[in-house]
């Protein structure tokens, strides 16, 4: 056992019998110090089959997707579909504080392993259930992969260009969001257990977990009957707003949000262009006066007043073109840094490479290295989402091989070598 | 017979604003904590002044955006630029168990709210700092709100169709779920540690780092394989078909003064259903549900590899089947057949038409003295024995200033009157 003395969840054991939707939940708990046991079917967790793979070698022990979501965890194999497997699982439950699962609602109850069944074995158990639509309600048995959660939550409707199909968020964000809410719910339940000694069930629906990300969509409809929809690069429907949206640079893109509160006004952008001799005719009338007025009040007025819109549209289009030419002459990181020096709200559109090379992330040593002896290579992983001064987030252990901790974990509950060999022979572990 | 909520008795001094901070403290309030939002009339939370507003109303107290993130809290209006304001801030910190801010490091320092300063006042405080780029480093003072964070953290580059610009996700997603959620997780872990040991601590969440943590696979693909992943639209390498398919349009209500567009399908009237076929069994189920058309029997579609190779044709054929059915109809036919499918819902669908969310009571309607009866997001997770609930609508600006002075800080009326006269309180 290599539990860290100074980790926040050092006394917590988690049994993860969930599918892909729960992997990030238990990673968050493991990275905070919990002893997380990934319970895999004897042929390995299904997410091990998902790429990208280490050097593109398709191999259940080389999925980078799975690696990323299983740092600090242990792995045992266990066939929950067999009654011997379930008996074995029942023997593990007394050692656990938390069970995380994602079966269709009712499935575990039928096997006697739902909340009531688990609480009989360990009365203060926390059972965290993560599914597409939660434990009850008319859609609770609907099949939900990531994109189905994004669709039903209302967030996908808002993403992409108007003329394209709505866009899926990259990176299984439905699963990630469900997992984040599940980890928070689990910790809330654990805190309650610490105080009162009482366990309970945490019900997480991917659809509900994502809902907050609709931003103002629900309230726009509820308060004003204004339907929000996806508008892609336009940012404001039917209007070109110079400085808002993606701009192409020599080597990629930056993204602007000019003229909004918090950043410098458009006049500062004009000064920057003029300082470099690239403001073209924008420093002359009528553009100069127009840019001095260019901000949210004018744009809001134009939105509700077609004549104003008609009057200003050609100005906006011209300014947009000059701005495009200006930013197109720059490297994206230069545009980012120079804009920020002037308090202009422009950010780099980072690629994964940009992030790994990012000055700020490097300075803060965000990325962290883990040695994989089987690959004889040190892999670089994303680091802590948050840093806790007394109970540090830490990568202590590389992701587990399939069933790597069978002997250790089953040994703890008194399984002898012979019994283990029998169970292995029967395909239970 | 519900037990008291888990955070009963926990007190939060909430110095955060905009999205992620207030969403996190709202979750704390929902599960029983007493949350005081410290607001300033000279630096009003930007969300108080932006739409959506109820018809013909426009004050700092009626923004649907602000209100949705601040239910169940008290609003305390304090001038932190005056020395006496700072002093009162420290008194609130002494009262509190948890402190939250997402101000930039510069502002945190100017107002004397660094961890060392707080710990002098309240040694076991759990203090969470959530600035954009972190509390140190060459870019710590960079500007940023969600709209810029999303591209900086890598979401824009990776999301959308490859022939389009990196327009992003349509909302500032990392703020609302990822950063608010990671902050909440860190605070609860720290609270648990404090309960066990009596020790407080400093939490630092750089929004950029928290957001990047949600994109791990693409990062490892670069650090290990040297590959820079590109936008792939709605497709994924391990499932096919996987995407959004066109359904029968629905005429949307027009904006005030807007004329109905003349397009064949006007923007906003389009409707879609997401379909994800993750294995061959689901593929067979999809074929059966579509009535086993001849093209389905074509050998080239029988394996994932084949479907990936002929994905354009595959999507077009499925679209022919979906396009004259409503999105909920496609979803129900496919779900009945065991194929993961979901209507791509609009706000109206989500709020008014989704029978499931309605049955679960996810959206909660609260009566606000100025904004009226409006919808709020409910708890993002449910606890069977100690369910969270929104106890009150969002506070009006400074609504509880007197209450906080009197009941929490124990001031008498004379002291309060002096502070108002000195413009320390508004």
Mutual angle of helices B180-197 and B20-30, in 10-degree steps: 50
CB contacts of B161 in chain A (<8 Å) are: 160-161, 164, 167
The verdict on B308 and B161 lying in the same domain is no
Taking only the tens place, the pLDDT of each residue in B304-331 is 999 999 999 999 999 999 999 999 999 9
Three-state SS for A366? coil
> CB distance from B318 to chain A under 8 Å?
no
Residue B225 lies in a domain: no
| pLDDT band of A1, cuts 50, 70, 90 | very low
> CB distance from B387 to chain A under 8 Å?
no
Which of A181, A345, A333 is CA-nearest to residue B149?
A345
> CB distance from B255 to chain A under 8 Å?
yes
CATH number at residue B86: 3.40.50.10540
Q: Is the dihedral of CA B59, A159, A53, A362 positive or negative?
A: negative
Does the structure show a pLDDT above 50 at A211? yes
CB contacts of B55 in chain A (<8 Å) are: 223-224
Taking only the tens place, the pLDDT of each residue in B54-66 is 999 989 999 999 9
Does the structure show a pLDDT above 60 at B67? yes
Say which DSSP state A112 is in. Answer: T
Asked if A319 and A326 count as a contact pair (C-beta separation under 8 A), the reply is no
Spatial separation of the C-alpha atoms in residues A268 and A292, rounded to whole Å: 10
> CB distance from B12 to chain A under 8 Å?
no
Residue B234 lies in a domain: no
Asked if B318 and B311 count as a contact pair (C-beta separation under 8 A), the reply is no
For A366, name the nearest residue in chain B, comparing CA atoms only.
Answer: B209
Spatial separation of the C-alpha atoms in residues A272 and A344, rounded to whole Å: 10
| pLDDT band of B146, cuts 50, 70, 90 | low
- Last residue of some domain: B293, B321, B345? B345
Spatial separation of the C-alpha atoms in residues B411 and B87, rounded to whole Å: 13
Residue B332 lies in a domain: yes
Spatial separation of the C-alpha atoms in residues B97 and B95, rounded to whole Å: 7
First to last CA, chain A: 22
Residue B253 lies in a domain: no
Spatial separation of the C-alpha atoms in residues B26 and B72, rounded to whole Å: 7
Asked if B29 and B11 count as a contact pair (C-beta separation under 8 A), the reply is no
Question: Could B160 and A160 be called an inter-chain contact, meaning their C-beta atoms sit closer than 8 Å?
Answer: yes
> CB distance from B266 to chain A under 8 Å?
no
Angle A263-B60-B406 (CA atoms, 0-180°, nearest 5)? 115
Reported residue count of chain B is: 426
For the purposes of burial, counting CB atoms within 10 Å of the CB of A197, is it exposed (0-12), middle (13-18) or buried (19 or more)?
A: exposed
> CB distance from A223 to chain B under 8 Å?
yes
Pairing state of beta strands A346-348 and B74-77?
Answer: unpaired
For A361, name the nearest residue in chain B, comparing CA atoms only.
Answer: B209
Q: Can you give the pLDDT at residue A2?
A: 44
Residue B2 lies in a domain: no
CB contacts of B281 in chain A (<8 Å) are: none
For B51, name the nearest residue in chain A, comparing CA atoms only.
Answer: A220
Average pLDDT of A60-89?
97
For A209, name the nearest residue in chain B, comparing CA atoms only.
Answer: B380
Does the structure show a pLDDT above 90 at B3? no
CB contacts of A364 in chain B (<8 Å) are: 134, 136-137, 206, 209
Q: Can you give the pLDDT at residue A237?
A: 66
Percent of chain B clearing pLDDT 90 (strictly above):
90
Q: Can you give the pLDDT at residue A241?
A: 87
Joined tokens for residue B412: 């008498």
The verdict on B67 and B171 lying in the same domain is yes
Residue from B201, B274, B277, B361 to probe the interface with A (highest A Cβ count within 10 Å)? B274
* CA distances, B81 to each of A399, B74, B135, B424 (Å): 50, 21, 21, 9
The verdict on B158 and B48 lying in the same domain is yes
Residue B36 lies in a domain: yes
Partner residue opposite B381 with nearest CB, options A176, A182, A246: A182
Residue B3 lies in a domain: no
Three-state SS for B271? strand
The verdict on B40 and B178 lying in the same domain is yes
Question: Could A380 and B218 be called an inter-chain contact, meaning their C-beta atoms sit closer than 8 Å?
Answer: no
CB contacts of B268 in chain A (<8 Å) are: 162, 227, 229
Spatial separation of the C-alpha atoms in residues A277 and A254, rounded to whole Å: 21
Burial of A241-267, coded b for 16+ CB within 10 Å and e otherwise, reads bbbbbbbebeebbbbbbbbbeebbbbe
The verdict on B102 and B129 lying in the same domain is yes
CA atoms within 13 A on the CB side of A358: 29
Spatial separation of the C-alpha atoms in residues B128 and B420, rounded to whole Å: 29
Percent of chain B as helix, strand, coil, to the nearest 5: 40, 15, 45
Q: Can you give the pLDDT at residue A235?
A: 62
Question: Could B238 and A209 be called an inter-chain contact, meaning their C-beta atoms sit closer than 8 Å?
Answer: no
Q: Where are the alpha helices (DSSP H) in B180-326?
A: 180-197, 207-212, 216-225, 280-289, 304-309, 311-322
Report domain A233-349's class.
alpha beta
Three-state SS for A344? coil
Angle A395-B178-A19 (CA atoms, 0-180°, nearest 5)? 65
Does the structure show a pLDDT above 80 at A116? yes
Q: Is the dihedral of CA A311, A312, A313, A317 positive or negative?
A: positive
Give Dmax (Cα) for chain B: 86
Specify the number of domains making up chain B: 2
Spatial separation of the C-alpha atoms in residues B423 and A409, rounded to whole Å: 63
- Last residue of some domain: B345, B371, B392? B345
Partner residue opposite B173 with nearest CB, options A155, A207, A356: A155
A236 forms beta bridges with A239
Where residue A338 falls (left for φ over 0; alpha for ψ -120 to 50; beta otherwise) is alpha
Does the structure show a pLDDT above 60 at B242? yes
* Residue boundaries of the structural domains of chain A: 13-213+366-425, 233-349
How large is the ipTM?
A: 0.98
- Domain of B397 in residue numbering reads as 11-205+358-421
CB contacts of B356 in chain A (<8 Å) are: 133, 137-140, 207
| pLDDT band of A309, cuts 50, 70, 90 | confident
Spatial separation of the C-alpha atoms in residues B381 and A185, rounded to whole Å: 6
The verdict on B64 and B131 lying in the same domain is yes
Taking only the tens place, the pLDDT of each residue in A189-199 is 999 999 999 99
Q: Which of residues 185-244 of B touch A (CB under 8 A)?
A: 185-186, 188-193, 195-196, 199-206, 208-210, 212-225, 227-229, 231-234, 237-239, 242-244
Helix (H) or strand (E) holding B383, with range, is: strand B382-383
CA distance B63 to chain A (A): 9
Spatial separation of the C-alpha atoms in residues B327 and A151, rounded to whole Å: 11
Averaged pLDDT of chain A: 95
CA distance A254 to chain B (A): 8
The verdict on B183 and B95 lying in the same domain is yes
Asked if B125 and B93 count as a contact pair (C-beta separation under 8 A), the reply is yes
Q: Report which of residues A394 and A173 the model is more confident about.
A: A173
| pLDDT band of A304, cuts 50, 70, 90 | confident
CA distance B257 to chain A (A): 8
Averaged pLDDT of chain B: 95
CA atoms within 13 A on the CB side of A63: 18
The verdict on B287 and B337 lying in the same domain is yes
Taking only the tens place, the pLDDT of each residue in A365-414 is 999 999 999 999 999 999 999 999 999 999 999 999 999 999 999 999 99
The verdict on B310 and B417 lying in the same domain is no
Joined tokens for residue B134: 């972190």
Question: Could A137 and B360 be called an inter-chain contact, meaning their C-beta atoms sit closer than 8 Å?
Answer: yes
Mutual angle of helices A296-304 and A306-328, in 10-degree steps: 130
Partner residue opposite A347 with nearest CB, options B148, B380, B383: B148
Asked if B368 and B67 count as a contact pair (C-beta separation under 8 A), the reply is yes
Q: Report the catalytic residues of B.
A: 175
The verdict on B183 and B273 lying in the same domain is no
> CB distance from B61 to chain A under 8 Å?
no
- Last residue of some domain: B317, B345, B373? B345
Does the structure show a pLDDT above 80 at B254? no
Question: Could B188 and A188 be called an inter-chain contact, meaning their C-beta atoms sit closer than 8 Å?
Answer: yes
CB contacts of B237 in chain A (<8 Å) are: 51
CA distance B415 to chain A (A): 35
Torsion of CA A277, A278, A284, A288, to 10 degrees: -110
CATH of A13-213+366-425, one of 3.40.50.300, 3.30.1300.10, 2.30.130.10, 3.40.50.10540: 3.40.50.10540
CATH number at residue B274: 3.30.1540.10
Q: What are phi and psi of B236, to 5 degrees?
A: -130, 155
Say which DSSP state B259 is in. Answer: P
Angle B186-A24-A28 (CA atoms, 0-180°, nearest 5)? 25
The verdict on B173 and B62 lying in the same domain is yes
Asked if A190 and A12 count as a contact pair (C-beta separation under 8 A), the reply is yes
Average pLDDT of B212-226?
97
The verdict on B185 and B333 lying in the same domain is no
Q: What are phi and psi of A193, to 5 degrees?
A: -65, -40
């Amino acid at each position: 056992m290599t539990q860290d003395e100074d980790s926040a969840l050092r006394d917590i054991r988690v049994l993860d019998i969930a599918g892909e939707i729960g992997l990030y939940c238990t990673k968050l708990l493991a990275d905070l110090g919990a002893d997380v046991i990934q319970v895999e079917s004897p042929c390995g967790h299904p997410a091990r089959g998902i790429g990208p793979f280490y050097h593109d070698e398709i191999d259940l022990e080389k999925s980078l997707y799975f690696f990323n979501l299983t740092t600090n965890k242990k792995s045992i194999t266990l066939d929950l579909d067999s009654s011997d497997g379930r008996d074995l699982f029942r023997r593990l439950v007394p050692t656990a504080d938390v069970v995380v699962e994602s079966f269709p609602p009712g499935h575990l109850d039928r096997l006697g392993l739902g909340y009531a069944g688990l609480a009989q074995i360990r009365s203060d158990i926390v059972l965290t259930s993560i599914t597409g639509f939660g434990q009850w309600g008319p859609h609770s048995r609907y099949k939900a992969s990531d994109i189905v959660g994004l669709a039903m939550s209302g967030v996908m409707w808002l993403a992409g260009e108007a003329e394209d199909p709505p866009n899926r968020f990259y990176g299984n964000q439905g699963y990630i969001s469900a997992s984040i809410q599940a980890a928070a719910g689990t910790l809330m339940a654990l805190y309650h257990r610490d105080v009162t000694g009482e366990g309970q069930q945490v019900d997480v629906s991917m659809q509900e977990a994502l809902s907050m990300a609709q931003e103002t969509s629900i309230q726009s409809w509820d308060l004003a009957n204004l339907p929000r929809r996806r508008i892609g690069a336009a940012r404001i429907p039917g209007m070109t707003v110079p400085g808002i949206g993606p701009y192409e640079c020599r080597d990629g893109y930056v993204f602007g949000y000019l003229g909004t509160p918090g950043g410098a006004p458009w006049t500062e952008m004009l000064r920057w262009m003029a300082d470099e001799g690239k403001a073209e005719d924008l420093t002359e009338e009528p553009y100069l006066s127009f840019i001095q007025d260019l901000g949210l009040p004018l744009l809001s007025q134009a939105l509700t007043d077609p004549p104003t819109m008609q009057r200003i549209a050609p100005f906006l289009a011209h300014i947009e073109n000059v701005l495009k030419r200006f930013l197109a002459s720059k490297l994206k990181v230069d545009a980012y840094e120079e804009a920020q020096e002037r308090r202009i709200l422009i950010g780099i559109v980072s690629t994964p490479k940009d992030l790994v090379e990012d000055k700020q992330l490097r300075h803060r040593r965000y990325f962290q290295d883990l040695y994989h002896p089987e690959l004889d290579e040190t892999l670089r992983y994303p680091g802590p989402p948050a840093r806790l001064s007394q109970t540090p987030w830490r990568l202590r252990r590389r992701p587990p091989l399939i069933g790597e901790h069978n002997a250790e974990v089953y040994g703890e509950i008194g399984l002898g070598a012979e019994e283990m060999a029998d169970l292995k022979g029967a395909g239970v572990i | 017979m519900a037990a008291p909520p888990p955070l009963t008795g926990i007190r939060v001094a909430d110095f955060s604003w905009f999205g992620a901070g207030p969403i996190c403290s709202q979750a704390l309030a929902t599960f029983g904590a007493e949350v005081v939002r410290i607001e300033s009339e000279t630096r009003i939370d930007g969300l108080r002044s932006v739409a959506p507003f109820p018809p013909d109303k426009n004050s700092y107290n009626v923004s649907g955006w602000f209100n949705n993130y601040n239910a169940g809290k008290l609003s305390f209006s304090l001038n932190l630029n005056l020395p006496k304001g700072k002093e009162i801030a420290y008194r609130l910190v002494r009262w509190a168990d948890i402190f939250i801010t997402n101000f930039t490091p510069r502002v945190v320092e100017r107002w004397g709210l660094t961890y060392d300063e707080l710990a002098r006042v309240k040694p076991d405080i759990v203090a969470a700092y959530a600035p954009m780029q972190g509390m140190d480093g060459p870019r710590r003072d960079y500007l940023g709100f969600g709209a810029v964070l999303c591209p900086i953290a890598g979401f824009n580059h990776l999301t959308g169709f490859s022939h389009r610009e990196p327009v992003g996700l349509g909302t500032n997603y990392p703020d609302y779920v990822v950063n608010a959620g990671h902050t909440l997780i860190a605070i609860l872990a720290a609270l648990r540690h404090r309960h066990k040991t009596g020790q407080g601590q400093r939490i630092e969440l750089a929004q950029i780092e928290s957001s990047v943590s949600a994109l791990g696979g693409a990062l490892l693909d670069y650090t290990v394989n040297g590959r820079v992943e590109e936008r792939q639209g709605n497709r994924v390498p391990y499932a096919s078909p996987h995407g959004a398919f066109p359904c029968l349009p629905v005429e949307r209500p027009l904006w005030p003064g807007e004329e109905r567009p003349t397009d064949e399908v006007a923007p906003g009237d389009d409707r879609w259903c997401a379909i994800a076929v993750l294995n061959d069994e689901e593929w067979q189920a999809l074929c059966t549900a579509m009535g086993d058309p001849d093209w389905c029997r074509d050998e080239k579609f029988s394996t994932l590899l084949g479907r990936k190779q002929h994905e354009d044709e595959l999507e077009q054929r499925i679209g022919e089947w979906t396009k004259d059915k409503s999105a909920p109809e496609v979803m129900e036919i496919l779900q009945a057949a065991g194929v993961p499918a979901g209507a791509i819902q609009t706000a109206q669908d989500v709020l008014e038409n989704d029978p499931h969310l309605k049955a679960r009571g996810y959206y909660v309607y609260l009566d606000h003295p100025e904004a009226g009866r409006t919808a709020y997001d409910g708890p993002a997770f449910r606890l069977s024995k100690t369910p969270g609930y929104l106890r009150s609508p969002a506070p009006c600006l400074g609504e509880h200033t007197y209450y906080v002075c009197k009941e929490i800080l124990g001031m008498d009326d004379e002291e309060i009157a002096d502070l108002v006269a000195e413009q320390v309180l508004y």
